[in-house]
A = this chain, B = another copy of it.
Amino acid sequence: MKFSPLVQELINAFKCLPGVGAKSAQRMAFHLLERNRIGGTKLAESLAKAMENIGHCRQCRTFTEQEVCDICLSPKRQARGQLCIVETPADVIAIEQTGEYQGLYFILMGHLSPLDGIGPDDLGLDILEKQLGQGQFSEVILATNPTVEGEATAHFIAELANKYQVNISRIAHGVPVGGELEYVDGNTLSHALSGRKHYSF
């Protein structure tokens, strides 16, 4: 004997969420059914709209429902000639919150991971190289996570960017080794940005 088909279908559907197993999925389903149908209906609508309409910014690759995102469209940011390369859209928010940076971003949506089959093209490095080739940037700031994969990715991009006339720097000071950028406090991140060093090969 199981739950009714529709209840079971809802529980199964929740398992697509990261870190959600059978028990959590059940708790989520019961919670919404019993206590928050309005919230559940709203989540269904947001989810349907988001899955349908959110794509990647054509320039920086962040998630957006626009073809080009607001940051990329800003003439003031374009004029600075700076490009900050991060792993995720959450890292952009974290850096924006420091107020230390006013340039553009490029979001890799991950890092190089040969074992998982994630190579340069999966990170949009072909798009990045095209942008660097157009000569609109004078500085590239490598702000991937200070993890093994993040460092390897930064190194790979530094080699790539070095073919063009750009100053390459890596955020460094204050970022704890082995950590993830989006969990670093704003103050530490400010220091990491202002203390960035010229990339040494």
Which residues of chain A have a CB within 8 Å of any CB of chain B?
1-7, 9-10, 12-14, 16-19, 24, 26-34, 36-37, 39-54, 62-66, 69-71, 88-90, 92-93, 96, 109
Top 7 nearest A-B pairs (CB, nearest first) are A16-B39, A44-B47, A13-B46, A44-B48, A1-B96, A4-B64, A10-B50
Main secondary structure of the interface of A (DSSP, over half): helix
Q: How far is the CA of A50 from the CA of B24 in the complex (A)?
A: 17
Sample (23) of A-B pairs whose CB atoms are under 8 Å apart: A3-B89, A3-B93, A4-B62, A4-B63, A6-B64, A7-B50, A9-B49, A10-B49, A10-B54, A12-B46, A13-B43, A13-B45, A14-B43, A16-B32, A16-B40, A16-B43, A18-B27, A18-B28, A26-B90, A33-B51, A41-B52, A44-B44, A48-B48
Q: Are B50 and A29 in contact (CB under 8 A)?
A: yes
CB distance from A118 to the nearest CB of B (A): 12
Stoichiometry, as copies per complex, reads 2
Do residues B6 and A69 form an inter-chain contact, with CB atoms below 8 A?
A: no
Beyond A3-B89, A6-B54: 13 further Cβ-contacts under 8 Å?
A: A1-B93, A6-B50, A7-B89, A9-B49, A10-B47, A10-B49, A17-B31, A17-B32, A17-B43, A18-B31, A19-B27, A40-B50, A44-B48
